[in-house]
Amino acid sequence: MKKIKKILVANRGEIALRIFKTCKEMGIATVALYIEEEKKSLYVKKADEKRSLGEGNLRQSFLNSKKIIEIAKETGADAIHPGYGFLSENAAFSEAVEGAGLIFIGPTKDSIKMMGDKKGSKEHMLKLGIPVIPGFHGDDQNPEMLKKEASKIGLPLLIKASAGGGGKGMRIVEKMEDFDLGLEGAKREAMNSFGDDRMLLERYLTSPRHIEVQMMSDTHGNHFHFFERECSIQRRHQKIVEESPSPALNSDQRKKITDTAVKITSAMNYRGAGTIEFIYDTDGSFYFLEMNTRLQVEHPVTEMVTGFDLVKLQIEVAEGEKLHFSQKDITQRGHAIEVRVCAEDPENEFLPSIGKLKYLGDPTSSHVRFESALSEGDDITINFDPMLAKVVAFGINRIEATERLIKALETCGFLGLTTNSEYLQQILKTEGFKKGDTYTHFVKSHKSEIDSKKIKATKNNLALILGLSQLSLKKSTSKKEQASAASHSWNNLTGFRLY
Structural contact between residues 336 and 401, judged by C-beta atoms closer than 8 angstroms: yes
Rg value, the chain, Cα: 22
Structural contact between residues 54 and 60, judged by C-beta atoms closer than 8 angstroms: yes
Distance in angstroms (rounded) separating the CA atoms of residues 127 and 125 = 5
Write down the catalytic residue from 209, 294, 369, 404. 294
Q: Which whole-number Å values give the CA distances from 149 to 135, 146, 184, 203, in the listed order?
A: 8, 5, 16, 11
Distance in angstroms (rounded) separating the CA atoms of residues 365 and 494 = 6
Dihedral (Cα; 327, 328, 329, 332), 10-degree rounding: 100
333, burial (CB in 10 Å: exposed 0-12, middle 13-18, buried 19+): middle
Kindly report the backbone phi and psi dihedral angles of residue 313, in degrees, each rounded to the nearest multiple of 5, phi listed first: -65, -40
Nearest to 103 by CA among 322, 320, 295, 266: 320
Catalytic residue check, 294: yes
Q: How many CA atoms lie within 13 A of 77 on its CB side?
A: 33
Q: Hey, which residues are catalytic here?
A: 294
